[in-house]
Amino acid sequence: MYVVALNGSTHENGNVAYLLNRILENIKGAETKLIHAAKAIEELKNPFCVSCATPCPKVCFAGTAVEDAFEEMKRADVILVGSPVYFGGPSAQIKAFFDKGRAYRGEKAFVGKYGSAISCGASKYGGQEATVNALQNIMLVQGMSILGPGSHAVDAGHLGVCASQPASEDAFAESRCLSLAARILELAK
């Protein structure tokens, strides 16, 4: 099994990366990779989609880290997408990253792949579930199947992995990370 995690935060060692790494390190035996979406788009002339043509010719990101990231996602069995909460929703960086994925949507590259959403906000009720929902909508538009953090080993789950910062001190978020890792391992069987 191959699991790719996308960090939608500008902080490569921040709260979202912490949560994604906690999940990845508990998926024993799987190949895993963490990709920093914000870093991938920063090298682009236009880090956001300008819808230059339909279908998307990939000319704005061919040969870049964005193309590499999408190609890794194409190989993946499970894709984890994490974002901090900014004004009640996901970061502009993760949205811009997925907006560049129009060509992959046309190819149906992610249809049937499992995807799960992870978010972290500054306060307990800071928009984490709204952010998870927005990330799930992105995954659904790409044809992915939503994977919640429930497992037979733990419980039926919740909407996604949601944390309050600092994520490393959020015991409930930690339990959701472990449950999602257990669910992914169940899929592997």
CA separation, residue 76 to residues 6, 38, 40, 68, 157 (Å): 12, 20, 18, 13, 23
Phi/psi for 74 (5° steps) reads: -60, -35
* Contact (Cβ atoms closer than 8 angstroms) between residue 144 and residue 98: no
Tell me the C-alpha distance between 2 and 146, whole Å: 16
Contact of 138 with 102, CB cutoff 8 Å: no
Model confidence over 12-63: pLDDT tens digits?
A: 999 999 999 999 999 999 999 999 999 999 999 988 888 888 888 899 899 9
Most distant pair of Cα atoms in the chain: their distance: 47
Spell out where 122-189 has E strands.
145-146, 161-164
This prediction has a pTM of 0.95
- Span 2-188 CATH architecture: 3-Layer(aba) Sandwich (3.40)
Mean pLDDT over residues 88-108, rounded?
A: 95
- Which tens digit of pLDDT belongs to each residue from 122-178? 998 899 999 999 999 999 999 999 999 998 888 898 899 999 999 999 999 999 999
Q: What pLDDT digit, counting tens, does each position of 64-78 carry?
A: 999 999 999 999 999
pLDDT band, very low/low/confident/very high, at 188 (cuts 50, 70, 90)? confident
